[in-house]
Chains A and B, each alone.
Chain A
């Protein structure tokens, strides 16, 4: 069931990027204007030096020289001040756009449909959330402003050069083909190369993290040599990737650098010839040579950031790929809380049916246990009963309304799925529970905790229910985390709960405690428990044995034991001896 999340195409990426900048036209105009002003101030230097040379040539005297020097100083001060303000303005805009970008991404993540969340796994999404958001930050904070500013500076320097003498701007053209062709050659290969390099690098750091965090396992299974081999293989892959991009740069960087020096030489030679002809004066040649030199730095920066822009665009494409339309929900309101499945069939992949016609009526307040071997379709049935997936054929309704068509807010008041996974979010214990019902008071939260027998340890935390828990906070044990999950359910208050091996990863004694406290709290609620611990089946009103995508046995515990089918065999085996019943001997 590989379920890679989609990636946006380049058209969508471009449109989104354009819209992003258009959202703040005034801020953009101010930032660009300031940068342009700063660049213009910076371009005054060579021009004035030309004037200086010219006045020395004509022996204009100290006064003129002093005046020009003072003017250069004024422009430098102006440039420094403008640079500062321009930088702040563009950073303000950049940070704002970046914040919007990541917040919108998280909003889109929070709208991923339940069925996708349940099936896709979190690996890909985690990578997008951490690496792609980081890559994009680098792009928005550095690459975008740097390329824009350097492009602006280059353009203005060319204008300045033309203003000095349009003739002297001609030698610039010598370098254009060389730079353009080599840049195209490089950029066509760079992004893929750097992506591979980054991927190889993170494999190296992941491998190290694995060795360090798994040091106990490495030691227990004597895997030291294997880990070293693995490290060397990772490093070798990283080296290959680095060598490829290094090769790209080995070709490209001397080529462009040579391309930078060509116009300087050309301006000197051609400018000299123009000067001999009397078409330009010495000051103009000086300024022109200095301008062509001045072009090198921004041009180099511009070209240097282009590959980062490509990497950023690739990341943006992955971030924009996480975008799902919410399908229109039904307006119908369930009449009653009875859940009815009629000949429900379901397949994840076309042609590979997992459930082959399940019919089941779950009465309000009933407790139903679903047992059966791994891979029999128990969890899939549970997800359907919780409205995560819609059945492929047949119908599954609550109070007469198809479960999967209900709007999510409504669905949550009807059925909730509790899985093996429990997650304590970073934040206070109180927030962790109150989140399912915004506006809940501290008293509501305490009540929910008390219902799952968790109030005692909660009050014993350093700051009670306002203690920070989860990653970076006070760590909670697995059993406590499970209790938090149950407390959330108490507060969310759905009439039906689907427990999917909710207690599987706990130590068996705690599971028993939890299930008992849960049973006490949920009296009157409908409970569907997908269980592999048989005591929970024993406590249920009815037991459904699911084998091979079908319900093969259905009835109360005693009925099934008496019937002597596969459930009875398992029960005997679990219980040690057929003789021992409810009371130990």
Chain B
């Protein structure tokens, strides 16, 4: 077996769900083919066991032939060995095929998410993309996997039918007509079962959500109280889940009963007819035992056939979700003929009238914090509103988006810290700039406190750090990236005044020769900026140094000193 994940995941066929599934199967066609062959062998071995047992009884016992008994017993042993071997080889292939389909789908999802980038939340429901990883990949894997067992089952049923027809035409006919009927009856119950199972899973998810909600707020809860109320509420949810579980169980119980009853009646019918034929001398006793064996055996391929239909259907639905995701395109298209990237120059936001001079630290103090966020988004062309932002006089929409991202980086407080070793998140390309950046962001103490320093693991979303620590790490990460133009949104809102003062002092030197925009209303930060622009109602209304503005603009002073 080749190692997974595949180094080259290829470009998926996203024309339709069926094509996507076929594409997945084709990528590992040799393994899928092997799985089919082993599955057929495995099922056929199982199918012929009753025939061999029957022969052993007929030849060995009723005819008192010890040699025949030994022969057929050894044949049975041989078939058992082959079945065991084929079974495990099939299983190995099945696992491989399942994983390779699932892995390819995950790779495709990650690639697509990266491509959509800032546009993703606008174009897709993030929860649905995540659900591809948690739910859809199993359905897709199952669909690829079941093809082998499904084929095996069909062949096994055919083998048994042929064997039966050779022994007794009427009995063979009973089986041929009985099986589709049985499958239909049992599958009638599958649908309501799935509905209730779905309902149960949803409620279970809600209850887990309630419990994690409670754990997430445990600090609050243990601090100010409310435990009895929360416990009571959880209990109510738990009891309603229990009721849902019983609803599932009622259908499952019926299904279990039906799975005894329906094939059982079939078994009785075959055995009864067989016994009468045996009495009439039309078949032997051994053949009767074989018939009983066949009827009992057929239950398994029957279940697998029902399973095949079900899994292919679900795989198709999941495939469609993946295909829908793969088809989505960003709302920030590249121009058909991109303009060559201009030399360093001023960055201008025509909407607000903000001019950012190259090579300096410009602070944006907005009376309404939302205005600063909107400006930052436009400066980096994070939405269509930034199409007209000018870099050295060239509208951003005429540049390749990748080139814009390379030159302009916007960091806000929603920027996500990624889990894994801290070093990898701060400095993925190994530039070695991390220590200096950490010092500039006044985050060296955060790293110093970590047991493994830069090699320590960061928890999901950086949860193991306090709000202020996260903010300083985000800033350090942006400084390591060292883009030509860096736009920071409220980079110090969660740190204490001492630290804020330190960061404000170090930011300018750290960004020397580069262009920096800081959206902030903190006097400590504004005082250190080369240039301050005051924004009111989305428009730049005053500019100058912090002290000039304090003197000249009453509104500015009110905003930043909060008097």
Partner of B133, one of A106, A112, A209, A219: A209
Within 220-254 of B, Cβ neighbours of A (below 8 Å) are at 220-231, 233-235, 238-239, 241-242, 245-246, 248-250, 252-254
A334 within 8 A of B: no
A210–B499 Cα gap in the complex (Å)?
29
A sample of 12 cross-chain residue pairs with beta-carbon separation below 8 angstroms, ordered by A number, consists of A65-B272, A79-B264, A83-B260, A109-B214, A122-B219, A123-B460, A204-B133, A206-B460, A235-B107, A261-B83, A373-B498, A409-B225
A485 touches B220 (CB 8 A): yes
- Contact (A84, B230) CB under 8 Å given A99-B238, A422-B220, A573-B524: no
- Contact (A228, B268) CB under 8 Å given A276-B66, A431-B229: no
Within 101-149 of A, Cβ neighbours of B (below 8 Å) are at 102-103, 106-107, 109-114, 117-118, 121-123, 125-126, 129-130, 133-134, 137, 141
B254 touches A505 (CB 8 A): no
Closest residue to B130 on the A side, CB-wise? A209
- Contact (A206, B73) CB under 8 Å given A239-B5, A371-B497, A425-B213: no
A371–B501 Cα gap in the complex (Å)?
14
A57–B281 Cα gap in the complex (Å)?
11
Partner of A215, one of B116, B257, B477, B561: B116
A84 touches B254 (CB 8 A): yes
* Shortest Cβ gap from B538 to chain A (Å): 16
Q: With a 10 A CB-CB cut-off, give which of B72, B106, B415, B493 has the most chain A CB atoms.
A: B106
B275 within 8 A of A: yes
B496 touches A374 (CB 8 A): yes
Which stretch from A150-158, A267-275, A394-402 is at the chain B interface?
A267-275
- Contact (A204, B106) CB under 8 Å given A84-B253, A570-B497: yes
Which A residues are CB-close (under 8 A) to B118? 215-216, 219-220
A505 touches B467 (CB 8 A): yes
CB-CB nearest 9 A-B residue pairs: A219-B117, A261-B80, A532-B496, A91-B249, A435-B226, A423-B217, A214-B416, A224-B114, A76-B264
A235 touches B419 (CB 8 A): no
Which B residues are CB-close (under 8 A) to A512? 562
Partner of A117, one of B62, B117, B218, B410: B218
* Shortest Cβ gap from B241 to chain A (Å): 7
A258 within 8 A of B: yes
Which stretch from A161-169, A551-559, A576-584 is at the chain B interface?
A576-584
Which A residues are CB-close (under 8 A) to B230? 110, 425, 435
Q: With a 10 A CB-CB cut-off, give which of A59, A88, A219, A227 has the most chain B CB atoms.
A: A219
A205 touches B133 (CB 8 A): yes
B258 within 8 A of A: yes
A267–B501 Cα gap in the complex (Å)?
87
Which A residues are CB-close (under 8 A) to B120? 212, 215-216
B468 touches A374 (CB 8 A): yes
* Shortest Cβ gap from B545 to chain A (Å): 11
B523 within 8 A of A: yes
Which stretch from A48-56, A308-316, A446-454 is at the chain B interface?
A48-56
Which A residues are CB-close (under 8 A) to B481? 221
B463 touches A123 (CB 8 A): yes
Closest residue to B105 on the A side, CB-wise? A208
Interface size class of B (residues with CB under 8 A): 35 or more
B405 touches A222 (CB 8 A): yes
Which A residues are CB-close (under 8 A) to B111? 224, 228
Within 247-288 of A, Cβ neighbours of B (below 8 Å) are at 249-250, 253-255, 257-258, 260-262, 264-265, 268-269, 272-273, 275-276, 282, 285-286
Which B residues are CB-close (under 8 A) to A209? 130, 133
A330 within 8 A of B: no
The number of residue pairs between A and B whose CB atoms lie closer than 8 Å in the complex comes to 492
Interface string of B275-317 (1 = CB under 8 A from A): 1101100000100110011000000000000000000000000
Partner of B267, one of A45, A231, A293, A472: A45
Partner of B56, one of A125, A208, A268, A282: A268
A226 touches B428 (CB 8 A): yes
A81–B57 Cα gap in the complex (Å)?
33
A417 touches B223 (CB 8 A): yes
Q: Chain B binding site: helix, strand, loop or mixed by DSSP?
A: helix
A52 touches B369 (CB 8 A): no
A576 touches B416 (CB 8 A): no
A210 touches B418 (CB 8 A): yes
Interface string of B101-143 (1 = CB under 8 A from A): 0010011011101111110110000100110111000000000
A333 within 8 A of B: no
Q: With a 10 A CB-CB cut-off, give which of B61, B134, B253, B496 has the most chain A CB atoms.
A: B496
A79 touches B99 (CB 8 A): no
Partner of B53, one of A57, A81, A289, A532: A289
Interface string of B77-111 (1 = CB under 8 A from A): 10011011101100110010001000100110111
Partner of A109, one of B218, B402, B496: B218
Partner of A582, one of B80, B83, B563: B563
* Shortest Cβ gap from B134 to chain A (Å): 5
* Shortest Cβ gap from B506 to chain A (Å): 14
B77 touches A265 (CB 8 A): yes
B558 within 8 A of A: yes
Closest residue to A513 on the B side, CB-wise? B562
B276 touches A221 (CB 8 A): no
- Contact (A220, B410) CB under 8 Å given A83-B260, A265-B76, A575-B523: yes
Partner of A224, one of B61, B115, B234, B459: B115
B405 touches A220 (CB 8 A): yes
Partner of A584, one of B69, B106, B289, B554: B554
B215 touches A374 (CB 8 A): no
A425 touches B260 (CB 8 A): no
B5 touches A235 (CB 8 A): yes
Which A residues are CB-close (under 8 A) to B409? 220-221
B246 touches A227 (CB 8 A): no
Which stretch from B152-160, B204-212, B333-341, B386-394 is at the chain A interface?
B204-212
- Contact (A505, B493) CB under 8 Å given A52-B271, A76-B260: yes
Which A residues are CB-close (under 8 A) to B208? 129-130, 133-134
Which B residues are CB-close (under 8 A) to A111? 227
B256 within 8 A of A: yes
Which B residues are CB-close (under 8 A) to A125? 215, 218
Closest residue to B229 on the A side, CB-wise? A435
Which A residues are CB-close (under 8 A) to B523? 574-576
B385 within 8 A of A: no
A483 within 8 A of B: no
A199–B498 Cα gap in the complex (Å)?
41
B30 within 8 A of A: no
* Shortest Cβ gap from B29 to chain A (Å): 20
Partner of A242, one of B72, B95, B212: B95
A9 within 8 A of B: no
A238–B141 Cα gap in the complex (Å)?
15
B57 touches A285 (CB 8 A): yes
* Shortest Cβ gap from A51 to chain B (Å): 10
- Contact (A69, B217) CB under 8 Å given A103-B234, A231-B106, A489-B224: no
A272–B256 Cα gap in the complex (Å)?
36
A509 within 8 A of B: yes
Partner of B246, one of A95, A112, A290: A95
A42–B296 Cα gap in the complex (Å)?
12
A577–B275 Cα gap in the complex (Å)?
108
B209 touches A426 (CB 8 A): yes
B64 touches A471 (CB 8 A): no
- Contact (A212, B562) CB under 8 Å given A374-B495, A425-B214: no
B561 touches A584 (CB 8 A): yes
* Shortest Cβ gap from A432 to chain B (Å): 9
Which B residues are CB-close (under 8 A) to A533? 497
B91 touches A272 (CB 8 A): no
